[in-house]
Structure 1
Amino acid sequence: MVVLFSLPKIIINKETGAALSGATATANRDKAAGGTADEHEGHLHNSDGSEASAAHVKASPEALSKLKALLVDYRTAGENANRAKLAEEIAVQYTAIAKFDSAGYYYEQVAAIRPGEKTYQKAADQYFEAFSFAATEERTKELSGKARELYNKVLQNNPANLDAKTNLAMTYIAAGEQPMQGIQLLREVITTNPNNEKALFNLGILSIQSGQYDKAVERFKHLVEVNPKHIQGNFYLAVSLAEIGKKEEARQVFTKAKTLDNNPEFQASIDTELEKLK
């Protein structure tokens, strides 16, 4: 997987919209106990709603109880409008407890009933979030494939949706499938909108991965010109500057980045990089 998904999650969380938060177990398959399980896109749906009990450990008993009740109601719902409403409520609940693959599945059910750019993107974004945390090659391919399928439907509805195009690009690149196609999509985004923050950031990361630090500096400098407070942009600009030997400039940018986020892990990462510059 590319550097984007191997670098510290706390750094790649604030501004990219690339759906990287701190729950490292998010993309794991649900392990539900009891009932008869039917497998749907990597999510186990038990006929008695007991998959709710396998939700993220940080979920409160009240949240799990509500989720289980919604799942039971969903299975007995008849009309499409009611099923779509319940599926959306379930997706919201799964998102709240960081079960993004499950949320993606239920948003996908909404999109099947109410197809359109927005409904497809909700489902795609959740699968993309889960894909960002996939712990195995199998899950990476599975979840990136789901996200890709749905982002393509978004773009069929609106070819000008640059956010969907950028995330689609990263499913090709990070999953190791047709990476050049992904890079071409990012370039299309930049051609359409030269100041697109997410595309600039991802192209910068890809330049780091390929050891083209001069190009990375160019991308990240552009990014921080567009958004001077972009935390990750400043951090990786400093990293890239250090790699091409501009240590004093790198030190200045690291120092600036340190003022943008007081998260202890982020601060520690910068301290480590500053120590290397001595």
Structure 2
Amino acid sequence: MKTKQYIVIGSVVVLMGILLSLDIKGLVKKEDASGAEAETAATAEKKVVSGFSRESVLAIAKQNVSPSLLTDIEKVENSLKKASGDEEVSLQEQLAKKWDDVNQPAASAFAYEAIAEKKPTYQNWMKAGDRFTEGYQNFPDTTSVQGLTEKAIHAYNKALELNAESLDAQTGLGIAYVTGTNNPMQGIQLLLKVVEKDPENLKANMSLGLFSMKSGQFGKAVDRFKTVVKVKKDPEAYFYMATSYENMGMKTAAVEAYEEAKRLAGDPGLSSFIDRKIKELNN
């Protein structure tokens, strides 16, 4: 994933809702990841997701693009129909950039995937994996989430074939396993290996903190978010730290973390939301 922007109130509330609604199987019951139901990467990639296709994703993405920009995108798409070789790669790069410019990562992911298939470098597969990750985390059509997740898994596995030691690819793969397969513990183990090698890895610690919240392990979540803010004063990490403290009944610590999230984000909408939370905690 590319570096996240500072949160605004809408994204915070939506993300919290997504987090708490995720069916992260196995984290609470701690099922044995080596059991008969454990899902391998190959199994995940071979699944057929009903109703999911490149065309269905692009159709939804195009609904969120202005008519003038859509004309530009479709012009490139039409040129691609008769292109090949380096010209095809160049056009896919143009298409990816156009989708990125309008903040449609699920759509741009398919262009990056096409580039990686033509030029299978580590960097190209990572770009595809990161965009598919952004896609499954933010795409409005929930029926496409599983398919986008499996695309991310495929891309990160391809990247690891080219660079087996990549912590970024291992982190992306771990997150995808936890959120989109029946083998979340495999993903957790990947993320734990990442922080073992790089204890202050921001992305892995943030993800482990979120997954700890989902499984009700708020103390562990706080420890992960503390590691994040030690490296980077991130408002999102402070927000989740505050939420974890709140769930632990530690109101004073929750208020302090909420205040820091508000100060760092500097967003009026978020400030209003946090002010209401602090008022509730102080009553």
TM-score (norm 2): 0.76
Counterpart check, 1:10 vs 2:21: no
Q: Counterparts of 1:186-205 in structure 2 under 5 Å?
A: 186-205=191-210
- Cα distance in 1 for partners of 2:61, 2:250 equals 50
Rounded Cα–Cα distance in structure 1 between residues aligned with 2:271 and 2:164 = 40
1:55 partnered with 2:62: yes
Q: CA deviation at 1:232?
A: 1.1
Q: Report the counterpart of residue 271 of structure 2 in structure 1.
A: 267
Contact 2:235–2:260 (8 Å) recurs in 1: no
The one of 56, 69, 75 aligned to 1:69 = 75
Structure 2 counterpart of 1:241, from 245, 249, 252 = 245
Structure 2 partner of 1:252: 256
Give the direction of change, closer, same or farther, for the CA distance of 1:168–1:183 in structure 2 (3 Å limit).
same
Query: Could you tell me the TM-score, scaled by structure 1's length?
Result: 0.77
Alpha-carbon separation, structure 2, partners of 1:57 and 1:150: 26
Q: How many angstroms does 1:264 deviate by?
A: 3.3
Q: For 1:125, give the aligned amino acid.
A: D
5+ long unaligned stretches in structure 2: 1-8, 15-50
Distance 1:64 1:134 in 2: 18
Rounded Cα–Cα distance in structure 2 between residues aligned with 1:199 and 1:240: 18
- Quote the residue 1:113 is aligned against: 118
- Distance in 2, Cα, partners of 1:109 & 1:128: 16
**In 2 relative to 1, CA 140–177 (structure 1 residues): closer, same or farther, beyond 3 Å?**
farther
Residue aligning to 2:152:
147
- Count residues with an aligned counterpart: 237
- Give the corresponding residue for 1:224: 229
Match of 1:28 in 2: none
SS of 1:257 mapped into structure 2: helix
Q: Is 1:99 equivalent to 2:104 in the alignment?
A: yes
CA distance in 2, matches of 1:244, 1:53: 40
Cα distance, 1:9–1:169 mapped onto 2, change above 3 Å: farther
Which amino acid in structure 2 is aligned with residue 189 of structure 1? V
Deviation at 1:134, TM superposition (A): 4.0
CA contact (8 A) 1:216 1:240 kept: yes
Q: Which amino acid aligns with 2:98?
A: Q
Q: Do the aligned partners of 2:170 and 2:194 also contact (CA within 8 Å) in 1? A: yes
Residue in structure 2 matched with residue 4 of structure 1 by the alignment: none
Higher share in helix: 2
**Aligned 8 A contact 2:106 2:139 in 1:** no
8 Å Cα contact 1:52-1:68 kept in structure 2: no
Amino acid at match of 1:44: E
From the superposition, tell whether residues 187 and 135 of structure 1 become closer, same or farther in structure 2 (CA, over 3 Å): same
Asked if 1 retains the 8 angstrom alpha-carbon contact of 2:109 and 2:132, the reply is yes
CA distance in 2, matches of 1:234, 1:89: 37
Q: For 1:187-239, what per-residue CA distance to the aligned partner results, in whole angstroms no more than 9, with x for missing partners?
A: 01101100001111111111111111111121112221122x21111111122
Report the CA distance between 1:60 and its aligned residue: 5.3
1:83 Cα deviation from its structure 2 partner: 0.6
Unaligned runs of 5+ in 1: 1-7, 14-39, 46-50
Query: CA separation of 1:208/1:125 partners in 2, compared to 1, >3 Å: closer, same or farther?
Result: same
1:11-34 CA distances to partner (integer Å, 9 max, x unpaired)?
399xxxxxxxxxxxxxxxxxxxxx
Q: Deviations over 1:157-181 (max 9, x none)?
A: 1122222221211111112421001
Cα distance in structure 2, aligned partners of 1:208 and 1:192: 23
The 1:160–1:223 alpha-carbon spacing in structure 2 relative to 1, beyond 3 Å, is same
- By relative contact order (CA 8 Å, sep 6+), the higher-ranking structure is 2
| Corresponding residue of 2:53 | 42
Q: Equivalent residue of 2:12, what SS?
A: coil
Call closer, same or farther: CA 1:174–1:67 in 2, change over 3 Å.
same
SS in 2 for 1:260: helix
